[in-house]
Amino acid sequence: MVRILIVEDDEVIAVEIAKSLASCGFDAVIARAFDRIDEEFAQSSAQLVIMDISLPYYNGYYWCERIRRSSKVPIVFLSSRTDTADVVMAVNMGGDDYLAKPVATELLIAKVQAVLRRAYDYETSAGYRFLGAEFDASASSLVYEGSKRELTKNESRILQALLEKRGAIVSREELMLKLWDSDEFVDDNTLTVNVTRLRKTLAEAGLGDCVKTHKGQGYSIEG
């Protein structure tokens, strides 16, 4: 049974989410020690975290960054904040998805299932070279100038989709289908989160801003 840690200080919302997850077969655990969320996460052995942003002591961004120091477990932000800046911050701190409150139970469950599927079930055997880097999609890894970096499953899927059509524009709709194998319950915020994360990873690897945005059309990659 998949265990999910719920970090939400509103007891009513936390219990509602826990009940919804439990009804779908998940083992939902509600965090209680808001000054020690990283410790609760370690003790819970959770395979996914649902994280509110506005929390006592420290915000969700802080705890996401703390968790990312030791784990790549998927983290889904759930917040009433909907500004683009908040979405970008969530990405930079290591978030995998972002949902705005209030969120329908069906959408929350669909997102959780999709994130888990992408994080733990995705496999491919393709390998690519670009801009002097070697990308192994089967291992979700990137090697550049002797340095190896691991990519998230989402980053790997997006990069593979762009490299399969190198030099051409890949539409946002096509990337969404690549991520989810379905356009159901897919929104622009989620794709923006993952493209931003990929850009950050490639830049940190030394490849610069090689993913280009084509307004109203989609994205392309150099190399």
pTM of the model: 0.57
* 207 C-beta neighbours (distance < 10 Å), count: 21
Each residue's pLDDT tens digit, 36-69? 999 999 999 899 999 999 999 999 999 999 998 8
What amino acid occupies position 54? S
Domain ranges of the chain: 3-120, 127-221
Confidence of residue 125 (pLDDT cuts 50, 70, 90): very low
Each residue's pLDDT tens digit, 176-194? 877 775 444 557 788 898 9
Report, as an integer, the average pLDDT of 106-129.
Answer: 74
**CA 21 to CA 140: how far, in whole Å?**
29
Rounded to a whole number of angstroms, the distance between the first and last alpha carbons of the chain is 43
The domain made up of 127-221 is a member of CATH 3.40.50.20: no
Q: Spell out the residues 6+ positions from residue 107 whose beta carbon is closer than 8 angstroms to its own.
A: 99, 185
Question: Which tokens in the block code for residue 67?
Answer: 């968790």
Q: Spell out the residues 6+ positions from residue 85 whose beta carbon is closer than 8 angstroms to its own.
A: none
What topology is assigned to 3-120 in CATH? Rossmann fold (3.40.50)
Where does 24-130 have alpha helices with state H?
37-44, 60-68, 84-92, 105-120
**Structural element, H or E, at residue 129:** strand 127-130
**Two domains, one topology: 3-120 and 127-221:** no
Each residue's pLDDT tens digit, 85-108? 888 888 888 889 999 888 888 888
The dihedral through the CA atoms of 164, 170, 174, 180 has a sign that is positive
> With contact defined as beta carbons under 8 Å apart, do 96 and 73 qualify?
no
